[in-house]
Amino acid sequence: MKEYLKFLITFRFLKHFFLAIGFVIALFFGGIFLLNPYTHHGISITVPDFRGKTIDEILKTLDESNLKFKVRDTVYFDDKRKGSILEQDPLPESHVKEGRIIYLTINGLTPPNVRFPDNIDGGSLRNAKNQLENRGLNDLVIPVNGQHLDYVVEARYLGNIMKGGDLLPKGSTVELYVEKGNGGNTIQIPDFTGKTMQEVLQLIKDSELSPPIISPHNLENDPNAIVDHQNPEPDSTGTTTMYQTDPIYIYLKIKE
């Protein structure tokens, strides 16, 4: 044991020991030096702020900075620029290496479709407004005569009667025909025969009548459709009247 300890402090051992340590240190720093061109050690890029811009607008900057991008998610906000970048990861002013992928969240170009809620017509105005708002839809209240206060008679989008499950773009405005809580007056029955739906709807509006019940539905928006007959029917004497809240049935045909 003593001989071994004496050997550890001999010049020969210490020389080889320090040579070995020097070789390991040289190997370590030499490896770092050789790897620098490949790992860009010590070289970083400051991430630009891409938010508010479109992908086309940032391509040149990405190319100059030797950065890449990938769209992580697409959402839609009506009050944001369409196609613009809403979020990015890493954040602006972060320091990254060349070739780093920047993950982007994009505002969509078109609004997504949402399903029209159930039980809008035949319910309260408050319920209709709440359900439409929850789906990201707007409402336009159109008062009509009726015995019930704030009672939704029907809902329409672009002139079409809406039913639960129908698809329409998020942010759309739905017309709600809502009873005002009065029975209405009696008026002479208008004659709709031979008129187009545009003319019929104008007469309905002028007379403050309830929205008509139209058949067949597939002709409702056809510009060549005219009224074949109606119920109740008008009479030539003008003595037959109806309440403004009474339903009017309109039957259409294609104009010959």
Kindly report, residue by residue over 131-188, the tens digit of the pLDDT: 999 999 999 999 887 777 888 999 999 989 999 999 999 999 999 999 877 656 678 8
Q: pLDDT of 190-212, one tens digit each?
A: 889 999 999 999 988 888 887 88
| Better pLDDT: 27 or 117 | 117
Report residue 83 CA to chain centroid gap: 12
Q: State if pTM tops 0.95.
A: no
CA-based end-to-end distance of the chain = 122
**Are the C-beta atoms of 123 and 149 separated by less than 8 Å?**
no
Is the model's pLDDT at 120 over the cut of 80?
Answer: yes
According to the model, what pLDDT value does residue 197 have?
92
The arithmetic mean of pLDDT across residues 215-222, rounded, is 88
- 74 pLDDT exceeds 70? yes
* 8 A C-beta contact, residue 138 and residue 174: yes
What tens digit of pLDDT does each residue of 99-111 get?
999 999 999 988 8
Report the C-alpha gap between 46 and 92 in whole angstroms.
8
pLDDT score for 36 = 53
Q: How confident is the model at residue 213 (pLDDT cuts 50, 70, 90)?
A: confident
